[in-house]
Amino acid sequence: MLHDGNKVIEEQRQGEATMVEPVGTGKRKLLLESYGCQMNFSDSEIVASIMGEAGFSTTREAEEADVVLLNTCAIRDNAEQRVRNRLKYFKALKDRRPELVVGVLGCMAERLRDKLLEEEKLVDLVVGPDAYRDLPNLIEKVDGGQKAVNVLLSREETYAEISPVRLDTNGISAFISIMRGCDNMCSFCVVPFTRGRERSRDPQSIAREAKELFDKGYREVTLLGQNVDSYKWNMTSKGEVKDPQKPTVNFAQLLELVAKVNPDLRVRFSTSHPKDMTDDVLHTMAKYENICKYIHLPVQSGSSDVLKRMNRGYTRDWYKNRIEAINRIMPGCAISTDIIAGFCGETEEDHELTLSLMKEVRYGMAYMFKYSERPRTLAERKYEDDVPEEVKGRRLKEIINLQMECSAERTKAMVGKVHRVLIEGPSKKSEADLCGRNSENTMVVFPKGDYRSGQYVDVMVTDCTSVTLLGEVVAS
Ligand code: 5AD
Ligand code: SF4
């Protein structure tokens, strides 16, 4: 699964909306808001491209919008509630301006289509993650006075040849979607239902997109997929070759292909799955300096019993073996994770096992959540959501407190060393400073001198806050 950010965060942080900066010259105005994970933000860039071709330019102002599209997230209940509140706001706007078109895209589309269109009459348009090419037609239908829906999921759609319009960009870092959907069926997760079956995108189109980004001045790409380690081109899900005339490509090979685009292009990826992450991938990471030494490896729980009920496909020992492999093959590589507190049947001992695993691994960063039951999932059908709310809350708090300690400790250990930093832009806090990340994805802030975004600099780190490094450039 996918995320953004570089710090200890709580549940609430997820599901924040981003409104995009104005782009394009089209006549009709589109307000596009994205909720949830990086994949959704990346999808919004595809939507902006399709809508741009159809004569739209984006705006940040609801008042001047002709069409409002919310790219929604369904991963936890609170993400859905935020979208619902936002839709009520737009409904009020629509009562004043009936010609305003309001649409729901993304993960909430399939499940809520009837409810949103009919019962609550909140929206005119509902479009699922595999149907964005159909948007211009559907909007035409709405313009003609009808409601419009397309929530069909596809086994093929990867939007491979659509050139995403980069939204809210610093001009340095960009996302490239390498696959869609997920076949894993973790019992708590709604994604396989909202985004459909897993399919991989043509590796040549991925490399081409990376090269185009580099030529435009971008210096970092993040390859996105729900489970990047199961990326397979020209192979069936069982690993059989589809077309013997063509090469097969796995994730390690794809990483290499993208790393070779240019040594000055940093390559990141998200998300890895502990059951599928091979030593091959780790060796490829170690071989190329421009593949960043950072792995997001969601554990979810430290208890093998809970992992079994979660249908994660690995045990605590297997996970620890993967951590050992990372530390052996790439000493110093940063590791982050996702943790769910209070999954069905989680006992106090299970929770203690999660805390003890965290102490052993000492993650640099973690996304931590209370379990939230989702409709249609295996857990909803099979297990009782039986951990009381206050127990979930207390366990989550303990997990967060421990993680804050680990994060601060990790940051501190980076002080006193020189770090290669890719400059992303001005520091948020001070005009006189620039900021960028080291390979391990920790933010570094330093006096700006004559340096610019997109440059690599070596920074001697002399101090830190809990999640940020502070220092001075020693060489570029
Ligand atoms: N409840 C709580 N957290 C969840 N996640 C996914 N589904 C749920 C759920 N039903 C978390 C997992 C996943 C991350 C993106 O969101 O930790 O890795
Ligand atoms: Fe990630 Fe599992 Fe959900 Fe797939 S089913 S998106 S691997 S949490």
Q: pLDDT for 298-315, tens place per residue?
A: 999 999 999 999 999 999
The full set of domain ranges for the chain reads: 11-150, 173-413, 418-474
Task: Say how far apart CA 224 and CA 238 lie, in whole Å.
Answer: 22
Q: Facing residues of 142 across strands?
A: none
Using 50, 70 and 90 to split pLDDT, how confident is the model at 395? very high
The mean pLDDT value for 243-255 works out to 93
Using 50, 70 and 90 to split pLDDT, how confident is the model at 21? low
Q: Is the per-residue pLDDT at 16 higher than 70?
A: no
> Over the chain, what is the mean pLDDT?
93
* Element containing residue 138 per DSSP (H, E): helix 135-143
Is any ligand 2 atom within 6 A of the Cβ of residue 1?
yes
Is any ligand 2 atom within 6 A of the Cβ of residue 226?
yes
Look at ligand 1, atom 6, and give the residue with the nearest C-alpha: 189
Using 50, 70 and 90 to split pLDDT, how confident is the model at 13? very low
Is any ligand 2 atom within 6 A of the Cβ of residue 192?
yes
Q: pLDDT for 405-456, tens place per residue?
A: 999 999 999 999 999 999 999 999 899 999 999 999 999 999 999 999 999 9
What secondary structure does DSSP assign to 61-79, as a single string? -GGG-SEEEEEE--SSHHH
Architecture of 11-150 per CATH? 3-Layer(aba) Sandwich (3.40)
Look at ligand 2, atom 2, and give the residue with the nearest C-alpha: 186
Q: Is the per-residue pLDDT at 3 higher than 70?
A: no
Is any ligand 2 atom within 6 A of the Cβ of residue 182?
yes
Biggest alpha carbon distance in the chain? 65
The mean pLDDT value for 76-81 works out to 92
Q: Is the per-residue pLDDT at 63 higher than 50?
A: yes
CATH 3.40.50.300 is the classification of domain 418-474: no
Which of 12, 41, 75 is the best mutation target for the ligand 1 pocket, counting ligand atoms within 8 Å of the beta carbon and taking the most? 75
In contact, 15 and 36? CB cutoff 8 Å: yes
Is any ligand 1 atom within 6 A of the Cβ of residue 285?
no
Q: Is the per-residue pLDDT at 356 higher than 70?
A: yes
Q: pLDDT for 113-151, tens place per residue?
A: 888 887 778 899 999 999 999 999 999 999 999 999 999
Given this model, what pLDDT does residue 8 score? 40
Which of 37, 182, 187, 193 is the best mutation target for the ligand 2 pocket, counting ligand atoms within 8 Å of the beta carbon and taking the most? 182
Residue 12 CB-half CA count within 13 A: 1
Lowest mean pLDDT among 11-15, 49-53, 321-325, 443-447: 11-15
Long-range contacts, 119-126 (Cβ 8 Å, 24+): 121/91, 122/84, 122/87, 122/88, 122/90, 122/91, 123/87, 124/148, 125/69, 125/101, 125/149, 126/150, 126/151
Given this model, what pLDDT does residue 276 score? 96
182 Cα–ligand 2 center, Å: 6
Architecture of 173-413 per CATH? Alpha-Beta Horseshoe (3.80)
Using 50, 70 and 90 to split pLDDT, how confident is the model at 5? very low
Is any ligand 2 atom within 6 A of the Cβ of residue 379?
no
Lowest mean pLDDT among 24-33, 42-51, 226-235, 318-327: 24-33
SS3 14: coil
367 Cα–ligand 1 center, Å: 9
Q: pLDDT for 440-449, tens place per residue?
A: 999 999 999 9
- Where are the extended beta strands (E) located within 82-165? 101-106, 125-127, 148-150
Between 239 and 32, the higher pLDDT residue: 32
The mean pLDDT value for 159-177 works out to 94
Given this model, what pLDDT does residue 7 score? 37
Using 50, 70 and 90 to split pLDDT, how confident is the model at 17? low
Which of 89, 97, 55, 53 minimizes the C-alpha distance to 70?
89
Lowest mean pLDDT among 90-94, 351-355, 389-393: 90-94
Is any ligand 2 atom within 6 A of the Cβ of residue 184?
yes
Q: Is the per-residue pLDDT at 2 higher than 60?
A: no
What secondary structure does DSSP assign to 175-224, as a single string? EEE-EE------TT--HHHHH-S-EEPPHHHHHHHHHHHHHTT--EEEEE
